[in-house]
Amino acid sequence: MYVAVKGGEAAIANAHRLLDHERRGDRGVADLSLAQIREQMTLLVDRVMTEGSLYDPDLAALAIKQARGDIIEAVFLVRAFRTTLPRFGYSVPADTGAMRAVRRVSAIYKDLPGGQVLGPTFDYTHRLIDFLLAAGAEPPVPDESEKVLEPMPHVTGLLDREGLIEPESAEEEGAPVSDLTREPLDFPAPRDLRLQALARGDEGFVLALGYSTQRGFGRTHPFTGEIRIGDVEIEFVPEELGFAVPLGDVVLTECEMITQFKGSASAPPQFTRGYGVAFGRGERKAMAMALVDRALRAREFGEDVQAPAQDEEFVLAHCDNLQSTGFVEHLKLPHYVDFQAELGLVRKMRAEYEARRDDALEAAE
């Protein structure tokens, strides 16, 4: 607990002024424009949008600039901003099958409808520092193919036809959808709520949990069924119109993980699913999320809940980096009164301890 303190106004104002100055850096270097951040720090912008849980590249770019590039501080700014805006409603569920994908890969089928499209990827690069970039070299214009991309149906649909993968839970008409931003997290959490929490969860935390399942803490034998990245149209039905308005396109990353399942008394052996999605180009996050989604479905498949990644309370209560940082960082705020009380207590205990020790020494003599 901390209690209010008074004073320090001038120090605080000067500290913030100093922060502004430090943020600007060397004034001999050109000021960073939001367009530069938005266009050239794309994956950082995407991550702040995903974890800030608000798709708005310009806003995320501004938050990144204001936060001096600190992701969690930028997420904090974005989340604070969203609280100032009214909620118009919920979108029509996005049709990711109709995504105009610029990347789509599958690790389970070599030849699949629509093919494997690498898109702009770090995969297969040699991870050698490119000093030409430091010299300001302009990259060549990308190649174009005159062959049009064919439609890319979800890979899991292929397994679905054989009945070898669990069918995805169907939508019940008008069934309520959990919303973390309207009602606090409650356990046991349904899958829709878990997915929402994971979608805005910290990439590092979700990545570590996903990794832990691969290393044996809640083993699930995953395969990447598919990863796709591209533009998806978002539609919204305003009450006053009564038809779906296309709001525009957002970039989404989607990952479907497939894991083997031995079967149970009631279910035949089959493949089961884990799902991940992120705003922008968030491949690592979407993959890790899909692993954790599957791990969290342990109860559903009658698996023992033994590992952290399978424990929904552990995962969901700690995956939000803003909540985590709020509680960790509050420790630096004044706890003077609290500490005085602790100090008094420790002094008293120490005196008692020393008195007991002296008594014991006397008795021994």
181/260 with CB nearer another protein: 181
28 is written with which tokens?
A: 């001999």
Closest approach of another protein to the CB of residue 342, in Å? 41
Q: Which is nearer to another protein, 255 or 353 (CB)?
A: 255
**Which one of the spans 24-32, 89-97, 201-209, 356-364 is the region binding another protein (CB under 8 A)?**
89-97
Selected range binding another protein among 11-19, 27-35, 240-248, 349-357, rule: CB under 8 A = 240-248
In angstroms, what is the minimal distance from the CB of 137 to another protein? 20
The answer to whether 74 and 60 have CB atoms below 8 angstroms apart is: yes
* Dihedral over Cα of 331, 335, 340, 342: its sign: negative
Peptide bond into 308 cis (omega under 30): no
Given candidates 94, 108, 164, 267, which one binds another protein under the rule CB under 8 A? 94
CB of 287 to another protein, least distance (A): 15
Place of tokens 């699949």: 112
Tell me how far apart the alpha carbons of residues 184 and 266 are, in angstroms, rounded to a whole number. 34
Q: Does 322 bind another protein (CB under 8 A)?
A: no
Q: Is 213 in the site for another protein (CB under 8 A)?
A: no
Options 63, 71, 77, 180; binder of another protein; rule CB under 8 A? 180
How far apart CA 299 and CA 280 sit, in angstroms, is 31
- Tell which one of 101, 209, 315, 322 touches another protein (CB under 8 A): 101
Residues 6+ apart with CB under 8 A from 313: 187
- Would you say 58 or 329 has its CB closer to another protein? 58
Identify the DSSP state of 358. Answer: H
Residue closer to another protein (CB basis): 186 or 358: 186
| DSSP code of residue 129 | -
Shortest reach from residue 2's CB to another protein, in Å: 32
Does 240 participate in binding another protein (rule CB under 8 A)? yes
DSSP β-ladder status, 100-105 and 270-279: unpaired
* Cβ–Cβ under 8 Å, residues 72 and 82: no
In the bound complex, what is the minimum distance in angstroms from residue 296's beta carbon to another protein? Answer: 12
Q: Which residue among 248, 263, 302, 334 contacts another protein (CB under 8 A)?
A: 248
What does the alpha-carbon distance between residue 9 and residue 23 come to, in Å, rounded to a whole number?
A: 21
Q: How far is CA 218 from the centre of its chain?
A: 20
**According to DSSP H, which parts of 120-175 are helical?**
131-134, 156-162
Give the footprint of another protein on residues 135-174 (CB under 8 A): 142-149, 154, 156-157, 168-172
Is residue 269 at the binding interface for another protein, with CB under 8 A as the rule?
A: no
Report the residue from 250, 267, 305, 317 that binds another protein according to the rule CB under 8 A. Answer: 250
**Angle formed by the axes of helices 203-214 and 283-295, to 10°?**
60
50 class by beta-carbon count within 10 Å (0-12 exposed, 13-18 middle, 19+ buried): buried
Among 38, 47, 65, 103, binds another protein (CB under 8 A): 103
Measured from the CB atom, the residue of 27 and 87 that comes closer to another protein is: 87
Is the Cβ of residue 8 or residue 190 nearer to another protein in the bound state?
190
Interface residues for another protein in 33-52 (CB under 8 A)?
A: 49-50
Q: Among 32, 102, 108, 305, which residue sits at the site for another protein (rule: CB under 8 A)?
A: 102
Can you tell me the distance from the alpha carbon of 271 to that of 85, in angstroms, rounded to the nearest whole number?
Answer: 42
Q: Could you tell me which residues come within 8 angstroms of residue 171 by beta carbon, excluding any fewer than 6 positions away?
A: 93
Q: How many Å separate Cα 206 from the centre of its chain?
A: 7
Question: Candidates 8-16, 18-26, 179-187, 356-364 — which segment interacts with another protein by CB under 8 A?
Answer: 179-187
**288 touches another protein by CB under 8 A:** no
User: Please, which residue, 19 or 98, has the CB nearer to another protein?
Assistant: 98
130 vs 249, which CB is nearer to another protein?
Answer: 249
Nearer to another protein, 31 or 144 (CB): 144
Cα separation, 338 vs 3, whole angstroms: 8
